[in-house]
Structure 1
Amino acid sequence: MSGPSVAELRAVAQPEGHLERRNGEHWAGALYMRRVSIYVTWAMTKTRVTPNQLTWLMTLAGIAAGFVLALPGLWAVLGAVLLIQVYLLLDCSDGELARWTGKTSLAGVYLDRVGAYFTEAALLAGLGWRASAVLPDWYTVMGFAAALGAILIKAETDLVDVARAKGGRLAATEESAVQFRSGLLGLGRRILGATRFHRIVQPIELSLLALVTAVIDLITGDLVATRVLVVACLVAAGLQMVLHLVSILASRRLA
């Protein structure tokens, strides 16, 4: 099987403007991973692997990262960081393969969202377990609570389209997310968005922060830095869960 050239594949799988989407592309994807993923996708076009199979592998890599992060030692964190990079690579490649083969589907979109849910939850739960050192304690509870918060944040977003579908309306546009009934609320959202505090619970950022705290813990000989990160994740998840709900209700996404 000869398959397409990389240039032919890129024209279809990474169309012009795709990487510039405001809400559709993670910074790590635009910065470096899309430059790698196109070659993985090119290799996949020579096989019988389907986009949904890549999505399943993506999800398994994300969940595995959470389990590995729960293990003690710096090498465990390095393993989790690597697995999250594999997760991101496959997250890029499954969509590229779907666009090239024309096998885009609602099932693929659904599986992609499920993978994101599971990965964020697994990584936060793993971090909490890691902070507990040996036996489950309050850090374990905080990790699982942060994981629940991360899931609820995503659910708040996805339920907008559920509500609109039940009301017989089309999905909300990106523009409606930044259109607020109150100018003050809109300003507040822009200020909070500029801090990027919500990214602390996202897999790429969290895995890198876990690596930083693991290095600090190795130097200090304790788990204080990791435990501070767990608390920060819980606070960020709790705040974002509330603020995101207020943002949705105050915007025109449900109008």
Structure 2
Amino acid sequence: MEEPATGKLRIPIAYMICNQPPPLSDSEPSRMKFQDVTTLFHEFGHCLQHMLTTVNYPQASGIKGLEWDFLEVASQFMENFAYEPEWLDRMAHHYKTDESMPQDMKKTVMKSRECLAGLAMMRQLHFATLDMELHTNYKARSSNSTDGESIFDVNRRIAQKTCLVPPIPEDRFLCSFAHIFGGGYAAGYYSYKYSELYSADAYAALEEQAGSIESKRRIGRKYRDTILAYGGGTDPKQAWKEFRGRDGVQVDALLRHSGLQSATAKM
């Protein structure tokens, strides 16, 4: 990017912080769990958005100035590659024998994202709905009044629509829900699932190429030149339309990746 004051070119620098496990001993290397691998891919997605930006102004380059709704799209997009057989073949090897991951283990890894996926999705929808309700419609009771709902009452009311197992009367989960009270996510927790919806649909653009390497490269370049390049300098709606060729986002890909919709229904 170019510094406005001097006109000199500055090369973007991105840091990845992943909290990888340390070696078990001085004689053994660090061994990553699969969750560590997906975290690595996730954070690398943020790095790509920093390094491939074409915006010359720091205030809007990379993820700077990017709307909260769209902030996690590039990172969650990259997580999909960790579940691909080709990538598992390339990166998953025994640390002593260098043998590739066995086929049955690869299938288990690929299916793991579908384990309890419905409950996991409803859990996120519960948190998002509860957060929005508390920050838009809830009226706090006065300290000496018992009229109206408490925040715990609101939690139980929302849970009637979003939870398979309702909270017990003593549930005080909200006391530790730091994301929406002290973590900057107030009225914005929905962005987790919202961004995942876009990232799944973006990855579906690659899946739709039916094995054509050149077609996938074309989609990859288009993704780089829009979603990754525009940063906070372009409305995400415009970036999305240029990349995907349509205004809206479709939910089918997210449901399919979670095992909640059959692969035959993807097109």
| Same fold (TM > 0.5) | no
Higher relative contact order (CA 8 A, sep 6+): 2
Decide which structure has the larger Cα Rg and report it.
2
TM-score by length of 2: 0.28
